Structure 1
Amino acid sequence: MNFRRQRQEEASVNLTPLIDVVFLLLIFFMVSTTFTRETQLKLDLPEAASGEQVDLREEKQIEMTISANGDIAINDKALIAPSFTTLKLALKRESAGDLALPLIITADAQTPHQSVIMAMDAAGQLGFTRLRLTTTQLEAGEDQ
């Protein structure tokens, strides 16, 4: 007797359903994720009746933002711990040794005075000579 051997079919895994499921999960996570900028601080600027309005924005400058609760961001990069030494290191890194760059301090109207003084002191110790404080223009007729 001569028996013929049966051909064995190759065992394979169909990847098409797996790819479909992964694609649907990817779409779900992309749609359900919210993107927020956590480096932006909400500010309510103080008002001033005097001062110069600066319209020209220089190409290279350092912008320091101080929120009402004392959080500090330099060029839209928030400092993890707003201490004096951290602030000095961040200013030194952002300036890359160029102390002639203008340093613009934008502080909320409710910011503790100590936070603004600490920022100015750190800039002074590093040797920054061009320092600006931002305010909003006091409306005509308002006296405080």
Structure 2
Amino acid sequence: MQFRRRRAEEPEINLIPFIDVLLVVLIFLMLSTTFSQLTQIQITLPTANTEKQNTTAETLTLTIQADGRYSLNQQALTATTVADIQAALQSAQAGPQTVLVIAADQNVRHQAVISAMEAARRSGLSRVTFAAQSSVAANSKAADKHSNPK
């Protein structure tokens, strides 16, 4: 009697339970780790005392209207080129500590403000600041416009 040989089955590893175990371990590790904070740059900011104000510096106010007209300390400037603004700033400048305040209308072209800044740089004015309207004042003006239409 001759028996048929059974074909030998090759053993194979079942990967599905192995993957399940690895995922559970991965979830456990993710939940148990402490998240480290990124290192922060340590700087010491200067403090400002609002009670003392520098009253020795001369202040020039350069106003730029919405249509691009300039005025320096409430005096209208006739020309609007950088060289003309520079000449006006140099004639009004009191010294190296002079502060230039640029008060530009919110609808003015950016080029007008850049021209004013370039004229200040050429004039040697290094202390330039921008005037801004407080949000409380802006809100009260808007309320007045709506309550008293002209």
Provide the TM-score with structure 2 as the length reference: 0.52
Aligned residues with identical type, % of pairs: 29
SS in 2 for 1:136: coil
Aligned counterpart, 2:68? 70
* Larger RCO of the pair (alpha carbons < 8 Å, separation 6+): 1
Deviation, structure 1 residue 108: 0.3
Cα separation, partners in 2 of 1:72 and 1:58, compared to 1, 3 Å: farther
Once residues 102 and 86 of structure 1 are traced to their aligned partners in structure 2, the CA distance between those partners, rounded to angstroms, is: 19
Q: List alignment gaps of at least 5 residues for structure 2.
A: 1-49, 140-150
Rg larger for: 2
Aligned counterpart, 2:79? 81
Equivalent pairs, count: 87
Deviation, structure 1 residue 138: 3.0
Deviation, structure 1 residue 135: 0.8
1:45-124 matched pairs, under 5 angstroms: 58=55, 60-96=58-94, 98-124=95-121
Once residues 65 and 96 of structure 2 are traced to their aligned partners in structure 1, the CA distance between those partners, rounded to angstroms, is: 24
SS in 2 for 1:103: strand
Aligned counterpart, 2:7? none
Aligned counterpart, 2:131? 134
Amino acid at match of 1:100: Q
Provide the TM-score with structure 1 as the length reference: 0.54
Question: In the TM superposition, what whole-angstrom CA distance separates every residue of 1:83-118 from its partner, at most 9, and x where no partner exists?
Answer: 11110100000005x132010000000011000000
Which is helix-richer, 1 or 2? 2
The structure 1 segments of at least 4 consecutive aligned residues displaced by more than 6 Å after TM superposition are none
Q: List alignment gaps of at least 5 residues for structure 1.
A: 1-53
Cα separation, partners in 2 of 1:136 and 1:64, compared to 1, 3 Å: same
Deviation, structure 1 residue 122: 0.9
What is the alpha-carbon root mean square deviation over aligned residues? 2.5
